[in-house]
Structure 1
Amino acid sequence: MALTIKLTQKSTKHMIIHLGGSLDTVTASQLDKKVDEVLTGSPAHLTFDMENLEYMSSAGVRVILKASKGLEKNKGKTTFVNLQPQIKKVFEIIRAMPDMSIFSSIAELDDYLDSMQKRVLGQED
């Protein structure tokens, strides 16, 4: 599934990134490039609108965390709105993880995130 990215300038220092589709290993580089472009404008506030985002893997999580850290360096703020239940679950899982790695590989983490999102959507195998 493809990733759609749309930017909306809310104010001179507030940018909204609207995401749709799938944010995964294949599509994460698209968002990474777009975030880099946005951060060159030194926004004070970046909002990710995830209303139409259907799936997110660990690659997507990495891009989101990188964006947040980039903003924090300049005392900026990152917010998230309109999370679908399965995407919210990914954030809950990530927040619950200790600082140390609990997965043996990226593939294992992606499998886990995939199964949790399917469970939330009632699509268990």
Structure 2
Amino acid sequence: MELTTHIDLDADKSLARVALIGSLNTDTAPGFALRLDEAIAAEMDLTVLDMAELDYISSAGLRVIFKAAKQIKGAERKLAAANRKPHIDKVFEILKALPDIAVFADDSEMDEYLTAMQDQVRDE
């Protein structure tokens, strides 16, 4: 699946809204990283990742988000994720619960687990 990214900059509110539509995976993460870099370069106080239309996220997508979060925090700005679907929210819950623990042998194993968790939540 493809990923479309829309960036909306609101200088009055010092807000960059980055809407993700589709799947953020190994294939789409590099392009998303470039688009997210564009939003970060605008130097808004808050960058919001609008995930209302995000259907899937893999470890490659998470790496892009975590790298951006570190970069934005270093510049004393903020990054937020909004409108997460339940299966996407589950991924963030899992990672929040295990912030410093490596529980997967490799990225492939982690992606399999994340896919299974997202499918399970979607099926409920």
TM-score by length of 1: 0.93
State the AA in 2 paired with 1:60.
Answer: G
The yes-or-no answer on 1:17 pairing with 2:18 is yes
Other structure's SS at 1:89 match: helix
Displacement, 1:40? 1.9
Offset at 1:11?
A: 2.7
After TM superposition, the runs of 4+ consecutive aligned structure 1 residues lying more than 4 A away are: none
Quick one: distance in 2 between partners of 1:38 and 1:62?
17
**Mean Cα deviation higher: 61-70 or 11-20:** 11-20
Distance in 2 (alpha carbons) for counterparts of 1:92 and 1:80:
13
Q: Matches of residues 59-78 of structure 1 in structure 2 within 5 Å?
A: 59-78=60-79
Distance in 2, Cα, partners of 1:10 & 1:112:
37
Q: For the residues of structure 2 that align with 1:32 and 1:25, how far apart are their CA atoms? A: 11
CA distance in 2 between partners of 1:99 and 1:30 (Å): 27
For the residue of structure 2 that corresponds to 1:54, the secondary structure is strand
Q: Post-superposition shift, 1:98? A: 3.8
- Residues 61-84 of structure 1: CA deviation (Å, up to 9, x unaligned): 011111111110111011111101
Work out the CA distance in 2 between the residues paired with 1:67 and 1:79: 11
Q: Partners in 2 of 1:85 and 1:4 — Cα distance?
A: 20
- Partner residue of 2:109? 108
Q: Which amino acid aligns with 1:50?
A: M
Contact 1:14 1:46 in 2 (8 A): yes
- Unaligned 5+ residue runs, structure 1? none
CA RMSD between the two structures: 1.3
Residue correspondences, number: 123
